[in-house]
Structure 1
Amino acid sequence: MVNSFFYNNLSRIMINLQESMALVCDFENWSNYEEELVSNLKKLAKKYELNTTLLVPVTSEINTGLWNYENIKELADKKNITNVIFYVLNDFTTDDNQEYLHSNLYEFLNIKKIIVVDNFKIKNKIVFSSEFFKKFWKNNCFLIEETIDEQKNSLRKILLEADFKKFKEKTGLYYKISGRVSEGKKMGRNLGFPTINLLTPEPILLSEGVYACDVHIKHLAKSYKGAGCYWINELNQKVLEINILDFDKDIYGWEVEITPICKLRNNKKVNTIEELKELLKQDVEKVRQTEINIS
């Protein structure tokens, strides 16, 4: 089984890893191209007698691509990868601290060789870019030319059309959205439909509308049915707002994993509070009637 963990270089956790060769690429959108890169990683690591590592930079607690972190671990496990390191890019991970970051990766995490996609960048930073890895790993950095992978666009289109069954058939995995619950205005609670809110600073792969969802609350290790609405709120924020059925507990700050099962309807403008209540009531009833079993 793959050894996976989140790593923050500000923590004092001791980690004992054997020397490895790491791959850095767009793992949130793992498709055919990334499959080829992983195969190359395994071949080169074997040649140099090193373990294999997927180095996944983490810039947000919510995933905006095809895969969340659990999906990435599952994909890596299928490929018999040794380690998956979710490297949290914090306030100290800046362009001014390149030497420290190199030392942390090379000495502490024991990453001796790197494969990285050419022109790889994160939000226009130098750190964790192909330029950074080439500068510090020199001849131990292998640049791979980026190629267009039509499978990515095809899978994104399937999700935006809410064909989650087809997505599962094509990939073998469910589309999941992971995030941390933000505090909202409690309007749903006042209407009798309490909700949790996941703010999405960047759009996720859902079209706006209402969905029947599986809601997994990690802290409780338990899943519930949910009616999720993806919309733009009055602050012009894109938010996934979910009414969890048969659950009424404040879980602000908790991590949740949302698996949309089917789209119930598009967003609809209402004129009165009573009309909104009736609409929400109908949504909840439809969710209750939806078969949800992702185990």
Structure 2
Amino acid sequence: MEFIRNLSRFQYQGCIATIGNFDGVHLGHQTVLQQLVNKGKDLQLPTVVIIFEPQPQEFFAPNKVPARLTRLREKLVAMHNSGVERVLCLHFNAKMAAISAEDFIQKILVKSLGVRHLVVGDDFCFGRKRQGNFADLRQAGKQYGFTIESQDTFILGNERVSSTRIRQALVQGNMQGARELLGRPYTLCGRVCYGEQRGRTIGFPTANIFLQRRVSPLNGVFAAKLHGITKKPLTGIANLGTRPTFDGHQLLLEVHLFDFDKTIYGHDVEVEFVHKLREEQRFTSFDALKKQIEIDVQLARAIFNVC
């Protein structure tokens, strides 16, 4: 998949495009991406997905925006798996935030991209203070020679599939519900780094994975699978949080693997959250923590024996 960060290097004049955050790349997003791919084949034109970094909400309200389901790298992997060939990532800064709806159409969609067909939601807004809308794009299409198509809404369980709905499922510890909405298990990616090795002192060594995020859409203790080390995923338990027993503050993902004792520092891995066992909590002693981890291990092993 081609990833383009500089608008001046975009070389596909006369393309078909869609625009959005695509956080999670869930079933609804996948439907849009399939629409895009199919239209590209019908018209025999290159297709491109346009995203922004940071996401507009993160620029305007960085302390209030909900946690991302997927970081940029995870999003790109999910898009690639959905058949996307090109992603144009526009830097969202004060200049981008100030661009008028008219200039966004003229300078970006028409002049820079040469858009021939656009797939967006009928509630899509753009430009300074979100002044542009679907009707404006339709009118501009008549003027500049491109067509516009409303993206399909994906309904599951009588409700629209959305990133917000997935976050709610994760907060509730409903991993199966999140999986159904995403069309795949919920995972987080990161690199295994050196930790304080406290887990070894109580008999439960862990792989420490720094996630490069301040907040996470979920936390707690989970039965989990680790992908990226062996052909088959490794099973274990994962703790995602700040380790209150050790007065921690930094978000950290720790995975204790069953029946595995190899060194894996420096490996890029993907952690799949299978089932939530409990919330993260502070323990009064290491012995109390050790006893709870023993219970967690038993529960997780039982879950994997059934799966």
TM bucket by the smaller chain?
0.5 to 0.7
| Alignment correspondent of 2:241 | 231
Provide, for residues 171-215 of structure 1, a one-character-per-residue CA deviation record: whole Å limited to 9, x for no partner: 432112122334332222333323322335243321x32100011
Contact 1:210 1:230 in 2 (8 A): yes
Instruction: State the identity %.
Output: 18
Distance 1:119 1:170, change over 3 A: closer
1:174-253 alignment, distance < 5 Å:
174-192=185-203, 193-206=205-218, 208-217=219-228, 220-233=230-243, 234-245=247-258, 246-252=260-266
SS at match of 1:278: helix
Distance (whole Å) between structure 2 residues aligned to residue 282 and residue 209 of structure 1: 15
SS in structure 2 of the partner of residue 28 of structure 1: coil
Q: Which of the numbers 275, 281, 290 marks the counterpart of 2:288?
A: 275
Q: Is the 8 Å Cα contact of residues 24 and 182 (structure 2) preserved in structure 1?
A: no
On the 8 A contact 2:119/2:150 being kept in 1, the answer is yes
Matching residue of 1:72? 79
Deviations 1:20-47 (A, max 9, x none): 4343311223457645644664576467
Report the residue type matching 2:239 in the other structure: C
- Residue 162 of structure 1: CA displacement? 1.7
What is the Cα deviation at residue 255 of structure 1? Answer: 1.4
Aligned to 1:157: 168
Separation (CA, whole Å) in 2 of partners of 1:280 and 1:173 = 28
* Aligned residues of 1:200 and 1:237 also touching (Cα < 8 A): no
Change (3 A) 1:154 1:18: same
Contact 1:55 1:85 in 2 (8 A): yes
8 Å CA contact retained: 1:178, 1:257: yes
* Aligned pair partner of 2:49 in 32, 48, 54: 54
Structure 1, residues 212-247: CA drift from partner, whole Å, max 9, x if none? Answer: 0011025x5442112111222445222222112213
Q: Given the superposition, is the C-alpha separation of residues 30 and 216 from structure 1 closer, same or farther in structure 2, using an over 3 Å criterion?
A: closer
* Structure 2 residue identity aligned to 1:72: M
Larger displacement relative to structure 2 (283-292 or 32-41): 32-41
Q: 1:21 aligns with which of 12, 16, 19?
A: 16
Aligned pair in 2 of structure 1 residues 18, 256: CA closer, same or farther (>3 Å)?
farther
CA distance in 2 between counterparts of 1:51 and 1:277 reads 56
Q: CA deviation at 1:51?
A: 2.1
Question: 2:100 corresponds to which residue?
Answer: none
Distance 2:294 2:90 in 1: 40
Aligned amino acid, residue 270 of structure 2: E
> SS at 1:283's partner residue?
helix
Distance 1:292 1:24 in 2: 43
Measure the CA separation in 2 of the matches of 1:285 and 1:276.
Answer: 14
User: Given the two structures, how large is their TM-score scaled by the length of structure 1?
Assistant: 0.63
Superposed counterparts of 1:112-191, under 5 Å = 112-113=114-115, 150-152=160-162, 153-191=164-202
| 8 Å CA contact 2:26, 2:183 repeated in 1 | no
Contact 2:192 2:207 in 1 (8 A): no
TM, length-normalised to structure 2: 0.61
2:303 counterpart of 1:290: yes
Taking structure 1 as reference, are residues 94 and 210 closer, same or farther at Cα in structure 2, changes over 3 Å only?
A: same
Runs (5+) with no aligned partner, structure 2? 56-66, 96-107, 138-142, 154-158
What is the CA-CA distance between 1:151 and the residue it aligns to? 2.7
Distance in 1 (CA, whole Å) between partners of 2:302 and 2:46 is: 48
In the alignment, the residues of structure 2 paired with residue 272 and residue 178 of structure 1 have an alpha-carbon distance, to the nearest angstrom, of 31
Q: CA deviation at 1:277?
A: 2.0
Unaligned runs of 5+ in 1: 10-15, 97-104
How many residues get paired?
266
Q: Measure the CA separation in 2 of the matches of 1:24 and 1:202.
A: 26
- Which amino acid is 2:276 matched to? K
